[in-house]
Every structure is written in structure tokens, then in C-alpha cells.
Amino acid sequence: MVATQPPMHLSGHCVCPSDPQFVEEKGIRAEDLVIGALESAFQECDEVIGRELEASGQAGGCTALVAVSLQGKLYVANAGDSRAILVRRNEVRPLSSEFTPETERQRIQQLAFVYPELLAGEFTRLEFPRRLKGDDLGQKVLFRDHHMSGWSYKCVEKSDLKYPLIHGQGRQARLLGTLAVSRGLGDHQLRVLDTNIQLKPFLLSVPQVTVLDVDQLEPQEDDLVVMATDGLWDVLSNEQVARLVRSFLPGNQEDPHRFSELAQMLIHSTQGKDDNPTQEGQVSYDDISVFVIPLHSQHQGRSSH
């Protein structure tokens, strides 16, 4: 995986004379293999979860956010609505994107277009600005289909009055009226309430992978990555988290546990406590997990790992 030009065959043997040329023409790099390994790992993990849940008769699912440090680069893989950000003295950079029914509208609609049986005649794949009513029949209203980035008008038919495939806006958006995320692990048995319609075909386990070249950053002592579940980001923006990080670290330079304590402080800042030192004043009622990862120490010790 770490070769400058990865071999076509993992054995290293050149089975076909054109193999090296293919790899070169496609521009396949070691970085692409790390990304592919993460994508494959998420899918394999999802399959394992599915078998274990079926064997135990349990149900459930989760989102997943992974960071891998390898050869001076940080690979961040995300499936769901958790988030990772890079915080530096003068910079805040998102290292992942959330996957919600809204952000993946076109993929979800296209799947319903190709396999309409997935909706069992209960839903419409078309997107309208709101849930249509009987009074809208015959009217020309705004709509979008899977092939559209813009909006157009169509004459409302009876089939358009079905429940929308993606309903609601912003944080209230739901896939088939059930899930607030469009990627994640598990939920193999999850069905729409009072129907036999499965959500799993729409719930993708493949992550999006972002690559950060840590060597090029020349990390400073307080440069770090914050990874957290959606409970944190529901009430705090990237900039608010960065401000809390920058206010906390200078006064705790000698504390060997400062990064763990910073993670706890970030969680505490979402609880609306009277003794909240951040005074952000917002409350999250969700479960929250936070990791604070210093880049400087990782960079310094990279060659020894």
C-alpha cells in the first residue's frame, strides 16, 4: 500500500504487461489505497453488524467517524452526521461533511427512480417545498426530481399527494419519515412505521474520506482535531468550538491531561449548567462523544511509530 506506484496484484507479480501502465494512467497512488481500504472497512463492518444483529435478534444502528494517521497524512472517514474539524490559531477547517436526507437528496431520489418498488407505492420520490394537500390538485407547483439541481413546475397529480421520500427541512428532515441520517452502520431490520418498507437500501455505509496533509501544515503545539457526534454540533458551530478551544488551552499548558479535560469542557458547554464557564447558553439533550487529538505530538512521533 505504501509503494510510490501500487502494484495491480497484491503479490507484486506482473501478470499482464499492461498492468503497470494501467496503474500509471489511472494515477493510482498510495493515498487512493488508504481511502479504498477505509471505504471497504466500513462496508465490511456494516455486514458484520448486520449478521450479529440478526443472530441476536436485536436492532439498531449508528453513524461512524474515523481518523487514521499514516505517513504524514490524516485520513478522516465519515458516514453519518458526526463531524471532525481542524482547529489552529488562525484557522478552522472542516474535515468531514454530514450526510443527511437533504444533502443526499439526488442519490436517494435516483435510487427510488431506478427501484420504485422500494417505496411500495406509499411514497413519492419527488421533492416539493411542502407536503401537498388535496387543494393543490391541478395546480402548478415547484418540484425537483433526481436529475435536477434547480427547480421547475409541474401540475399536481393524485400520486404527488403521497408522503414524500424526504420530508421536512434542516434538522427536521427525515428519510421516509424515519431517519435523520442517510449514511451509517446497522439498521438492517429498520422499517417504516406500520409498513414493510425497509430503510436499509437508502442508508449507505460507504464513508466520504477527507485527506489532510499534516506534514505540509507544520503543526504547532495547539493545533488539534476535534471529533464529535451530532449532539455537540447541534448547539455549537465550528467557530464556537474553535473559540472555546483557544480560550481553554493557553491557561492549561502544563496540564498533562489538558486535551481530555478540553473534551469534557466542550461537552459541559452544551449542558446549560449554571456553572458553565463558556456561557454559550445552549443545551443539547443528545448523547455526546468528543475526541480532542493534538496534531503536534503525532507529527513529532510519526517516524518512531
What topology is assigned to 30-99+206-272+283-294 in CATH?
A: Phosphatase 2c; domain 1 (3.60.40)
430503510: which residue's cell? 199
CA 125 – CA 32 distance, rounded (Å): 34
Long-range CB contacts for residues 108-113, cutoff 8 Å, separation at least 24: 108/165, 108/166, 108/175, 108/182, 108/202, 109/144, 109/145, 109/146, 109/165, 109/166, 110/146, 110/147, 111/201, 111/202, 112/146, 112/165, 112/202, 113/145, 113/146
Q: Give the pLDDT of residue 305.
A: 36
Confidence of residue 188 (pLDDT cuts 50, 70, 90): very high
Lowest mean pLDDT among 151-155, 215-219, 230-234, 260-264: 215-219
Per-residue pLDDT tens over the stretch 54-88: 999 999 999 999 999 998 999 999 999 999 999 99
> Rounded mean pLDDT of the chain?
90
How confident is the model over 211-229, as a mean pLDDT?
92
Count of residues in the chain = 305
Closest CA to 119 of 51, 198, 188, 174: 198
With contact defined as beta carbons under 8 Å apart, do 186 and 195 qualify?
Answer: no
Please work out, in degrees rounded to the nearest 5, the angle formed at the alpha carbon of residue 226 by the alpha carbons of 220 and 229.
175
Q: Where are the domains of the chain?
A: 30-99+206-272+283-294, 104-186
Q: 279: buried, middle or exposed (CB in 10 Å: 19+, 13-18, 0-12)?
A: exposed
Report residue 84 as a C-alpha cell: 471532525
With contact defined as beta carbons under 8 Å apart, do 160 and 126 qualify?
Answer: yes
How many of the other CB atoms lie within 10 Å of CB of 274? 4
Rounded to 10°, the helix 258-268/238-248 angle is: 130
Q: What is the pTM of this model?
A: 0.88
Q: Is 214 helix (H, G, I), strand (E, B) or coil?
A: helix
Confidence of residue 304 (pLDDT cuts 50, 70, 90): very low
Query: Has residue 187 got a pLDDT over 80?
Result: yes
How many of the other CB atoms lie within 10 Å of CB of 106? 15
Report residue 122 as a C-alpha cell: 406509499
Q: Give the pLDDT of residue 303.
A: 43
Q: 252: buried, middle or exposed (CB in 10 Å: 19+, 13-18, 0-12)?
A: middle
Report residue 280 as a C-alpha cell: 454559550
CA 67 – CA 138 distance, rounded (Å): 51
Confidence of residue 2 (pLDDT cuts 50, 70, 90): low
